[in-house]
Amino acid sequence: MHLKLLQEKRRSLHDFVEGASSNTYLLVLSFAPLFALGTWKTRVSAPMRIGNLIVMVVLLAGALATWLYKRSEKRLDRVDLNLRDFQRLLLQFIDRSIAFFKGIKFWFAPLLFFGISLAAYPALNHFWSQSLCIVALALVFLCFECSVWMCDLGRVRELERRKIEIESLLEEMDGSK
Amino acid sequence: MERQDLLQEIALAVWTALPNFRGQASERTWVYRIAHNVAITFSARQKRRDGVEQPFDAIAPDPAIKDNSPRVVLIDAIQQLKPVDQQLALLYLEGLSGTEISEVTGLTTDNIGVRLNRLKRSLASGLDRKGTADERTSGSR
């Protein structure tokens, strides 16, 4: 009976926490329609239109990819599995995370920046020359991309290290070590 | 402090895993599974943070106990083992049966039997060697 009571309390707390994290997706999805509106309103200017469209698509794709990634992370709640099964689950999650950071996330930032640059370029061109605009945008892009890449590189290295540790543990359990 | 952190993480993990408990194992085995999974993850994280292998803090000896008491000597010996063997030794010392240890670790009962026999021999010879070394040291004083 006590266990049932605890389970009920636990469920309501979990729902509350889940609600808080879904706000992130709502925030992202709120901006996507704004850029969609920008795409429609800037019919006269092709670069602005294409830029807005790219940003909208990238935001939606990013939200979807993050949602899928979070879903796989939720499976790590199964900490009540036996040791071997839990380590295997961790290993699967780590492989997916590495693929996420090396693949999807790597392309997310440059595409987003490209779209914003394209949308902002005509406005910047009013104040600066064409070459100055391109140089400025390229520099900002390089700085932004480098910082994102370095953060993700650190994260990927940590994941790969953890993967080696878990594989070692599983080998030890299988008796091959 | 680390002991408290680990205890807190285990308590939180038990709390989080409650909806998944369907009575497929005894509560005791279920809690042991969670505790061991959390402890291994905790130990790995500490190792990455501090750059050294951390023993399970739960078995860190109480400073009030003398250094050469049998309990401390045994804990020392267990801490030298590999992580899986440490877990087996601790579960065995907690009084879990072979079947229960199998439910916690996912190893087969045969595998557990073989490993435990090997562990007992290895710990016994290690403790014998330490006992001989201590006798020599106390004799030379």
C-alpha to C-alpha distance for B108 and A173, rounded to whole angstroms: 10
Phi then psi for A127, rounded to 5 degrees? -100, -35
Confidence of residue B24 (pLDDT cuts 50, 70, 90): confident
Q: How many CB atoms lie within 10 A of CB A173?
A: 21
Ordered by where they begin, the domains of chain B are 1-58 (no CATH), 61-141 (1.10.10.10)
First to last CA, chain B: 37
Contact A14 B19 (CB under 8 A): yes
pLDDT of B4? 85
Least CB–CB distance from B15: residue in A10, A86, A169: A10
Helices (H) and strands (E) in chain A, counts: 5, 0
pLDDT of A20? 42
Of A26, A33, A23, nearest to A55 by C-alpha is A33
pLDDT of B2? 75
What mean pLDDT comes out for the span B75-94? 87
pLDDT tens by residue, chain A, 177 residues: 556 555 555 554 444 445 444 555 666 667 777 777 776 676 667 778 888 888 888 877 877 777 777 777 766 667 888 888 888 888 888 888 888 777 766 777 788 788 888 888 877 887 888 888 888 888 888 887 787 777 778 888 888 888 998 898 888 888 754
Global ipTM: 0.74
What mean pLDDT comes out for the span B72-99? 87
Query: How far is residue B40 from each of residues A117, B33, B55, B128, measured CA to CA in Å?
Result: 47, 11, 10, 29
| 3-state SS track over chain B | CHHHHHHHHHHHHHHHHHHHCCCCCCHHHHHHHHHHHHHHHHHHHHHHHHCCCCCCHHHCCCCCCCCCCHHHHHHHHHHCCCHHHHHHHHHHHCCCCHHHHHHHHCCCHHHHHHHHHHHHHHHHHHHHHHHHHHHHHHHHC
Please list, in sequence order, all residues whose beta carbon lies within 8 angstroms of the beta carbon of residue B97, skipping any fewer than 6 positions away.
none
Query: How far is residue A26 from each of residues A34, A62, A104, A105, measured CA to CA in Å?
Result: 13, 12, 20, 19
User: Is the C-alpha dihedral spanning A145, A147, A151, A154 positive or negative?
Assistant: positive
B30: closest CA of chain A, how far (Å):
6
pLDDT of A1? 53
pLDDT of B117? 92
Does residue A54 contact residue A114 with C-beta atoms inside 8 Å?
Answer: yes
- Listing DSSP states for A146-175 in one string gives HHHHHHHHHHHHHHHHHHHHHHHHHHHHHT
Confidence of residue B101 (pLDDT cuts 50, 70, 90): very high
Contact B48 A82 (CB under 8 A): no
A151: closest CA of chain B, how far (Å):
18
What residue ranges do the domains of chain A occupy?
Answer: 8-174
Least CB–CB distance from B44: residue in A14, A85, A162: A162
A118: closest CA of chain B, how far (Å):
43
What count of Cα atoms within 13 Å lies in the side-chain half-sphere of residue B106? 19
C-alpha to C-alpha distance for B139 and B130, rounded to whole angstroms: 14
